[in-house]
A and B are shown apart, each in its own frame.
Chain A
Amino acid sequence: MAIECKNITFGYSKDNILFKNISFSVDYGERVGIVAKSGFGKSTLAKIIAGYEKPLSGEIIVDGKPITKKGYNPVQLIYQHPEKAINPMWKMEKVLLEENVLNDYIINSLGIKKEWLKRYPTELSGGELQRFSVARALCENTKFIIADEITTMVDPITQSQIWHFLIEECQKRNMGMIIVTHNMYLAEKICTRIINLEDMALE
């Protein structure tokens, strides 16, 4: 078992519970889709797994140990809005250099053009920026990727390009992937297993 979520409950206060007792696990090399309707708390769950939010109760266990606060987190989250996830004052080159992923292989596979590297984030479109977010998460220490609606803002061709590359990369490095989406068709296409949180909450 690589990532284990044990009885995760999250809410903004004790009387305002968003979801209760969510438990599942994801293994290396697996691609698990998480599906639920809008407002269920998919993105919040994604943030909890990646360590950005603390659950009210329950815990996340990676490789048998609870996630650490310091150091590189092997579980990396790719956000839904790339324009918020990239420092607007940095050139794109620096964004990739921060994580040491500025190599031709990643750049070419994601369809990043060389001239984009010299630009600022405001000079690129959302889809173009998202490729950088994806590239940044693919640092060599990453063992799991959580993709939180990462292709909702891009055209179908780019969408397929990004997913093809991510799937190939995950298989090659034996990484696990958690795909948060409300697009059932996309989930069926790319995931090896689908978890419907609404069903889980009913049980």
Chain B
Amino acid sequence: MNRRKKTIFLICVSIIVIFSVFIGGLIIPETALKADFSIKNSSPSLNHIFGTDYMGRDMFLRTIKGMSTSIIIGMVSSFISVVIAVVLGTVAGTFSKYVDGFVCWLIDFVMGIPHIILLILISFALGRGFKGIFIGIAVTHWTSLARIIRGEVIQIKNEQYIKISKKMGKSKFYIMKNHILPFIIPQTIIGGILLFPHAILHEASVTFLGFGLSPETPAIGIILSESMKYITTGYWWLAFFPGLVLIIVVVLFDILGENIKLLINPYTSQE
């Protein structure tokens, strides 16, 4: 098996696992999560491979459903982040140095505040829930990608074919749309995928701290913060398995991003 085949194999495996968690979470009905106090707090067994919680709910189903919620949040908020990053990055690179200065200042400004504090603030101010989380993550995560895109735009702006296009009387918007945007799309896709794990982890941590989603939503952060109450009583599976699934999904996204990067990059794609 050569490098290219291995890369494609890893990409396929990550997509299949992530997708099945996502779809699985969507098709699990609410009734499957109803309380059954006769089997509460049972340890992992063949019937309940992740054990059950204090209300007798199956932890495996809860984890998958929670993970699927997290994936939706990750997708929507990293998509918004990518859009902000692309717009600000290209604008900074294309237009005058004052615009560039302003965008750089904005990037430094948002980067300067620790993610989690800004995230808690925004999420709390917007009344928690999905809206707060989406906007909070989107507003805090675009900075590094915007900086990368700005760099790429500045680099490509000095290419001869863009100067020629300018001398042929093409407008800045024409050049941006036809020359610059196609060039930064690969970077954007990779940046977007690599934003995903950050978004999921931050969603989980804000929810864990109690500033994110409401306690009824089956989210991975809620499950983890709930299980913290029981960990001292020896119910280790309540925190261990959901945490493990969270880490696996995050690592899979990372593998997906890194491997797509290898595949898109012309210097490594044929190895």
Chain A residues with a Cβ under 8 A of chain B: 50-52, 70-73, 76-77, 79, 81, 84-87, 89, 98-99, 136, 139
Contact = CB atoms under 8 A, between A and B. Distances in A.
Interface stretch (B115-123, B157-165, B242-250): B157-165
Contact of A84 (B161, B165, B183): B161
Contacts of A51: 167
Nearest to A142: B168
Contacts of B161: 84-87
B114 interface: no
Contact of B168 (A52, A79, A89, A98): A98
Contacts of A52: 163, 167
18 contacts: A51-B167, A52-B163, A52-B167, A71-B169, A72-B168, A72-B169, A73-B168, A77-B164, A77-B167, A79-B160, A79-B164, A86-B161, A87-B162, A89-B182, A98-B165, A98-B170, A99-B168, A139-B168
Interface centre among B164, B165, B169, B182 (most CB of A within 10 A): B164
Contacts, number: 39
A72 to B, nearest CB: 4
B179 interface: yes
Contacts of B169: 70-73
> Nearest 6 CB-CB pairs, A to B?
A72-B169, A73-B167, A71-B169, A87-B161, A85-B160, A84-B160
Interface string B33-57: 0000000000000000000000000
Nearest to B165: A98
B159 A84 contact: yes
A70 B163 CA distance: 12
B167 A76 contact: yes
A76 B164 CA distance: 8
B167 A89 contact: no
A98 B169 CA distance: 11
Contacts of B160: 79, 81, 84-85
A89 B183 contact: yes
A84 B170 CA distance: 18
A73 B162 CA distance: 14
Contacts of A87: 159, 161-162, 179
Contacts of A73: 167-169
Interface centre among A50, A51, A71, A87 (most CB of B within 10 A): A87
A143 to B, nearest CB: 13
B161 to A, nearest CB: 5
Given A87-B179, A98-B168, 13 more contacts: A50-B167, A51-B167, A52-B163, A71-B169, A72-B167, A76-B167, A79-B164, A81-B160, A84-B160, A85-B160, A85-B164, A86-B161, A99-B168
